[in-house]
């Protein structure tokens, strides 16, 4: 590992712990933007995952970053193709990733009771066949679909694992994602009942919805985070082996490091009122964040949409410096004032300004955000949203902003 890479890791580690590093770290939030910028498409990357890694490499060479979010797009498209689902698809430009809302759960009392009694069996026997056309019909066809899906997942994992190892060497930029979390309530909101269904269920079956959220946490979140924790120790093979022995043979918990961070995009909270948030979302959200922190790791939680100060106030209940609050539409300077003594926070650069603003406007905004947010440490600079296509921002502005931020953000 190069000296520059070590410095960047140290910078992000300290900032994530709400301490003062040598400079404000700058992280990437470029998703399929990278494919457009690097001259490839989603269809090409499905067939040749390394083309995706090459596209991300070009971004990390051309644009200054202390840490990258991903070495290849985070969703395994080819896995879903094998099962015949169109959960993820490309827009007409061939680059922008889209996510269809699929709500395969009917939300009856009986279905909730099945989910609560045995989530794994419910997901495998009820939800999988409803969601995936290729898991219906004769057994031979279903077995073929399983093999096709696993081949797709295998190619994706080679791209993900290989990119996470290769890109820090090739570009002197380390990855910062050391795990992934989908919160229990968001599993229901995103993948089972959808926006409309979960809104109805909060009123029609509130207790069953709560029980289902708890069941998903207990039998699914708690267990699956053990898988994801391997991303945290990817650069430390001895620890990886120890964790594998501890998890798979002894049934224990992993030991992780404060960096790289687990990443969690939250989806439902900005559509909930305070009472709903506290009742349905926060209890398992809090438990999950505490679970990851009990491994020794920190979660970077993306606060999608606008949360408001009242919901954010609950983060004071967590152990200090156990999360990084990635701010999307809330005022990041206000978040700094409210929670800067408790947790690190991330964000600051609106992609709307990068797209439509002049270079001067972008640099002035950057200076203002740094002046407000950098003092005291715990600040990580990035775009407020993921970049999904080359139309999402003017790349010249992004390059200029990150170069300026790197020079201006010295402590």
Partner 1 sequence: MEKKFSDIIADALRDVLKKFIPVFWVPVIGDRLLDKVMNSYAVSLLWKGWVMISLM
Question: Is 121 or 316 the residue whose CB approaches partner 1 more closely?
Answer: 121
Torsion angles phi and psi, residue 265, rounded to 5: -90, 125
Question: Is 125 or 319 the residue whose CB approaches partner 1 more closely?
Answer: 125
Question: Is 247 or 321 the residue whose CB approaches partner 1 more closely?
Answer: 247
Count of all residues that appear for the chain in the document: 411
Q: How far is the CB of 99 from partner 1 (least distance, A)?
A: 9
Q: Counting Cβ atoms within 10 Å, is residue 404 exposed (0-12), middle (13-18) or buried (19+)?
A: middle
Q: How far is the CB of 121 from partner 1 (least distance, A)?
A: 6
Q: How far is the CB of 146 from partner 1 (least distance, A)?
A: 6
Q: How far is the CB of 61 from partner 1 (least distance, A)?
A: 30
C-beta atoms surrounding 310 within 10 Å: 11
Q: How far is the CB of 13 from partner 1 (least distance, A)?
A: 27
Question: Is 219 or 329 the residue whose CB approaches partner 1 more closely?
Answer: 219
Q: Please, which residues have CB within 8 angstroms of residue 378's CB and are 6 or more apart in sequence?
A: 15, 17, 18, 19, 20, 321, 340, 343, 344, 345
| Cβ atoms of residues 178 and 262 within 8 Å | yes
Q: Please, which residues have CB within 8 angstroms of residue 353's CB and are 6 or more apart in sequence?
A: 361, 362, 365, 397
Tokens describing residue 205: 């079956």
Q: How far is the CB of 35 from partner 1 (least distance, A)?
A: 19
CA–CA dist 408, 411 (Å, integer): 9
> Which stretches of the chain bind partner 1, using CB under 8 A?
75-76, 79-80, 83, 87, 119-121, 123-125, 127-129, 131-132, 135, 139, 142-143, 146, 149, 153, 182, 187, 191-192, 219-220, 223-224, 226-227, 247-249, 251
Question: Is 132 or 277 the residue whose CB approaches partner 1 more closely?
Answer: 132
Q: How far is the CB of 358 from partner 1 (least distance, A)?
A: 39
38-62 as b/e: b if 16+ CB within 10 A: bebbbeebbeebbbbbbbbbebbee
Question: Is 105 or 353 the residue whose CB approaches partner 1 more closely?
Answer: 105
Question: Is 237 or 251 the residue whose CB approaches partner 1 more closely?
Answer: 251
Tokens describing residue 113: 């009771």
């Amino acid at each position: 590992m190069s000296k520059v890479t070590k410095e960047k890791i140290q910078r992000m580690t300290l900032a994530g712990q709400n301490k003062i590093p040598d400079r404000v770290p700058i992280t990437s939030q470029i998703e399929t933007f990278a494919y457009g910028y690097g001259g490839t498409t989603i269809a090409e990357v499905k067939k040749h995952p390394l083309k995706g890694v090459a596209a991300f490499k070009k971004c990390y060479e051309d644009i200054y970053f202390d840490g990258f979010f991903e070495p290849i797009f985070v969703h395994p498209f080819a896995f879903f193709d094998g099962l015949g689902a169109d959960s993820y698809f490309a827009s007409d430009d061939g680059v922008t990733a889209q996510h269809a809302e699929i709500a395969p759960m009917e939300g009856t009392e009986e279905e909730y009771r099945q989910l609560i009694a045995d989530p794994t069996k419910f997901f495998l026997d009820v939800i999988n066949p409803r969601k995936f056309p290729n898991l219906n019909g004769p057994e031979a066809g279903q077995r073929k679909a399983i093999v096709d899906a696993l081949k797709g997942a295998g190619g994706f994992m080679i791209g993900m694992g290989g990119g996470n190892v290769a890109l820090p060497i090739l570009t002197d930029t380390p990855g910062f994602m050391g795990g992934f979390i989908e919160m229990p309530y968001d599993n229901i909101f995103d993948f089972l009942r959808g926006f409309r269904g979960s809104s109805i269920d909060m009123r029609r079956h509130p207790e069953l919805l709560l029980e289902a959220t708890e069941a998903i946490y207990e039998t699914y979140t708690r267990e699956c985070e053990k898988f994801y924790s391997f991303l945290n120790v990817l650069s430390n093979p001895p620890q990886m082996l120890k964790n594998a022995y501890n998890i798979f043979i002894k049934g224990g918990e992993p030991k992780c490091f404060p960096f790289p961070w687990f990443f969690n995009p939250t989806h439902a909270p900005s559509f909930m009122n305070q009472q709903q948030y506290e009742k349905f979302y926060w209890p398992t959200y809090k438990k999950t964040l505490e679970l990851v922190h009990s491994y020794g790791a920190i979660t970077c939680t993306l606060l999608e949409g606008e949360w408001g100060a009242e919901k954010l106030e609950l983060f004071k209940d967590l152990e200090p410096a156990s999360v990084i609050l990635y701010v999307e539409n809330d005022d990041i300077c206000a978040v700094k004032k409210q929670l800067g003594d408790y947790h690190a926070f991330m964000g600051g650069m609106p992609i709307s300004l990068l797209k439509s603003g002049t270079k001067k406007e972008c640099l002035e905004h950057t200076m203002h955000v740094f002046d407000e947010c950098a003092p005291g440490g715990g600040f990580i600079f990035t775009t407020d949203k993921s970049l999904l296509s080359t139309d999402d921002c003017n790349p010249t502005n992004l390059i200029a902003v990150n170069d300026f931020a790197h020079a201006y953000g010295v402590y």
